[in-house]
Each structure stands twice: as structure tokens, then as C-alpha cells.
Structure 1
């Protein structure tokens, strides 16, 4: 039986990486019968936000980095030393076959230099599209080459890595609803399921919605996401300033995106950048088409423009409002995009994606 160690910072926050770690750990232990151990550095005695199989072992080594400063700041240096010592203890006691670095943690840069017989893997959930080619990036690339495998989410992302050890494995769709509602029978509700973070550019979504709403007074926009940070407060005030409180509704964090997508007709995305957002696949699985900025690089690697969704030039707010307006007034196009979105989601079923992990990495002869 193979043993897989997954390294993360934490699993108590709602987020794409946290959800993916739980999905993969559960699948690998339940379906492939691998031994899976998740090792976190700062869980702080909180329960995992996503349910883990009873067969998945969870270990927190309680490092708790100062996240507001660089990992390699003097205040964090002692913590890195402790991290290395505690991880070595885990490696000795578990003797893993594979070690997967799943989130952005100091071990990303240190693991390739630690002595272990395990094959080491780093997966990337962000895009290198805008990364400058400088000395610092050169150092990172040289470290990345020391991994046995680098896992990226799309063929386009692969082009940004000079290493020969890159595998393309997309994010999965966990489950398709048994029945997909007729898109044109739903209420006139658009939605966004996201983190309230500046990279999501929700202010541009609000600006586009203001233009759209002037012509579509019977529509509402549901915003799903945790409302516990300064950026949320900024967006909340912006909505109030524009007198859009009756049209833009803050729904809070949801633990069930399928239920959310059962309510909405179209998903909106205005991010500055997205690597390979699971939320697009989740929406597609429910027959909900997506209107998105051409954010590098994820949306255009999932959405086929005018087939299963719509891509708008990056940061073009008036165009976004115009495209959305045309779509909601064209029932035939809405239905076509909805049906094709389900077809797209079927390309990323969890069974197929997990077998890619098995064949390309865990059972590979590389």
C-alpha cells in the first residue's frame, strides 16, 4: 500500500485548495486504498472545514508562521527550523512513498533539499502568467526542477515552466446533479461564489452590474462568500453608495455550492487572474453558464466562448455589462450555453481526474 503525505498550511478555511486537498485525500484512500496523511503547520486545533474520511490521518505540527511578512524574515526563521525538525520526525515515522506540497508554504523551497526516499510533488494553484523573469524567479525555477513532479492545471500553464518534470492534471468535478434545472425556468438571478479578496475585483463586478441593472430591473445578483474581512466591507460600502442594496444581495458563506447554483441562471467572474477555478466547473455541472473576464489563465482554459460560456476582454466593464445584457435577453442562447456547460463539466469528472493522478504519478514508471 502506497503512503502519500500531503503538506498544507491549514484546512480550517473555506477555499479552493482546502476543498481540493480534502477531495483528493478522501478519494485516494477510499478508492485507491492508499494511506493518506495530511500534515499542516497551523491548524490551531480547529476542525477541518471539509469532511475528511476516517481513513485519512491528520497531523498538525503547530508552527504558526507570521503570515504578514516573508517566510524568510528573521521572525520566521526559527519557525522554519522547527518546521524542518518536526517534518523530519513525521517522515521517519510514516516513511511515505510520495510527498505532495499542496499549498504555498516554506517547505515548497526546502523539501527538495531534505533527505528522503519519497518522490516529491509540487502542485500549483496560481498562474505564472504575470511572473517577471528575474533572478528571484530563476532561483524558484531551479528549485522546482529538483521535484520529481510539478503538477499544473492546464496546458497553457505548462508553457510557463522550463522543467521537464511537469504534468497537466486539471481540477475535478466531484458530482453532477441528477437533474439539471431548465435554465429559463429559473428566477432572474445571477451569482458569484468567491473569496472576498482584491484579486477577485468585485468592485468591477459591481460597476458592471450597475450598468446592467439599469436595463434589467427585475434581476438580482447573489454574492456568496465569507463576510469577515476589510475587502468585504469595501464592497458592502460600494454597493450602498451606488444604491444597489435591493439588487445585490450578500448571501454569506455557503457549504453547498450545488444548492447555490440551483438558484442562479448565470455565474459572474471578474478576477484579475485565475489559474483554474473549480467554481466554473461546479457551475457548469449544474448547467449554469459563466460570463468571465479573460483572466489569465483559467477561464479561457475551461470556457469555450459562445459555446458553453462567454469571455469578455479583461477589465472591460462596459463590455461585460453589454454581454450579460444580451445573454439574458436571448433565451435560446442561454439554453444552448447551459446544455453545453454540462457537457464541458463531464470532461472533468472526478473519476477521470483521479486516474490521471494514479497513472501519471503514483503508478508511473518515470
Structure 2
């Protein structure tokens, strides 16, 4: 008997689909609401293209819950949550009405001048595998960017082919998307966002103004917080202002990342003793952790299962390169004690001296 994967969207089935057009409200663009669902023949080329477009951007990563709107006490006051709950309870009767409500909520959230209007696809999906469970989901997908296409028509009576230009949505890239899974309803459902590399207004309005989400406090959340805290500690405390040279900073980052790569379970005492090591540095790290929690307003746990996906996504924050004069890079992946920094008074320049046994 094959083991069910922790996260798998390869066998998801489309049950219901509707498209609404949502413009930018402050730009006086209209909202156009559909009256009927769209039917697509199962497993046709169009069906496959649509499903790939909807789902291929979603990878294992952070999860969210619906949060309470500003000024409210409970996530049950979140209007997208309310519409979602109604669709899950009776999809065939509630889908069209509630999908129109969702489109109107998105329209109300589309107030920044840089937010682009576009098509909002809302779908009911079956057989999503999340954390090992097979569950239904509601998908919200927004297409904002159009591409031009050339279409070659049939051969004409005079012996040539017709050539036409058309505009449409490219299935290669999903602009905005989320999957709301039918589980953990008592906490505000599990919600997954399509990754966005930026924190621009255009990216955040979808998450914060429209959906109003908060991070789900799971192993990904705890691991990511600790990795962020390690980077912040080096940048703000364990730095040259406190007589710590760049090689030592990079070495601490490398050892921190190595610890999370190798360990299945995180323990703060073990981490401090084996990674930070020096008592004064450990004390400074503990003080920084208190400040980090207060400033970010998030809990930082001392024990948790390490999320390897969080480690993978955080690697780019752990810089192991010293950049000199924009033309010289020194990569340090260990043995920082073999790198010494000095100053040459005759040349009036800084230098690094590197000691090694063998050259490869």
C-alpha cells in the first residue's frame, strides 16, 4: 500500500468554476459579475491547461489562517471566511451567491492606484492532499496581466492563411492565488498563498486587505522565525559595531544554517551551546530574542520540529560572501579563524589575509 504524500495536488479535480471581472475601484474600473458557472469537459486539453495554471505555483511552504478584521475580535467576522464556510457547507446551492460576494470584497479592497484589475477565477476543488489528509478546497485565482498572441487561421479560398492578433491570459504565470482547505475550520481554515517574492502594495493587498490572513503557528512558522532571528542577530548585534569582523559573522550564519539542515528537532539550549558557544554571545542572543518577539509581536518557541522547507526557503538570507570594492568576492563556508583582517598604512587600504594548507 503506497504512502500518502504530505502535500500533493497532482490528482486534484475541478468540481465547480466561475469567472468574475474585478476592476480597480479608485480608477473607476467596473466589476462584472457572472450569472452562471463555467463547465469544462473533464481531462480535455483546456481542462489540463486550466488546472496547471491554477495549481502549479503552489509548493509546500507557509500556511495561514483567516484573521479577525481590524476592530473585530474573531476570524468568524472575516467576510471571506464566512463566504468560504457557506460554500463548503453546501457548494451547489451557495457557490454562485458566495463567489459574487467574494468578488465584491476584492473590488472593495482594490483601492491602491497600482493594483491592476483582472479576472477572478473561483473554483471548488476535490482531492487535495494537505498534511497527509485528503480534503476539498476553494481556490481563488486572479489574472492581471495579458499577453498578445498570433493566431494562424485556416487556408482561405485565395490560397493563403489568415493571421490574427488576440489578447489573453498566459497559463505560464499565475498573478495572485490562494487555496482554502476544508480543515481546521475552528481556527480559520488552512490557507495557502501563491508565493510572492515582493512585499509591494500590489502583493500585500491580496493577503492583508482582501483575505486578511495571519500565519499558522506550525513548524514552518517556528523554523522561519528562528532563522530570521539568527540573521537579525548577526546584522544588528553580532556585528562590527561590537568588534565582530565579517568572517566571524558569516561563520555564525553558516553554523546556524548547518544546525537547522542537520537537525530534525530544534532545542534552544543545544543550539546556543553548539552554535553560538561563547557565553557573552549567548547572553546577547537571549536578550535579542526577547526584543525580537516584542517588536515582531510573534512567539518564538524553544523546541519544535525543524521544517526543511522553511530552511530551504531561508537559505538566500544567509549570506556567506564578503564583497570588496564591488569587484572582489570572498566566499566563506567554514574555518573563519583562517581569515584575518588588517590595514596597510603604506597603501592606505584594508586587506584580508587567508591561511590554508592545500590548494585544490
TM-score, normalised to structure 1, is 0.27
Q: Pick 1 or 2: higher relative contact order, CA cutoff 8 A, min separation 6.
A: 2
TM-score, normalised to structure 2, is 0.27
* Bigger radius of gyration among the two: 2
Give the structure with the higher percent strand. Answer: 2
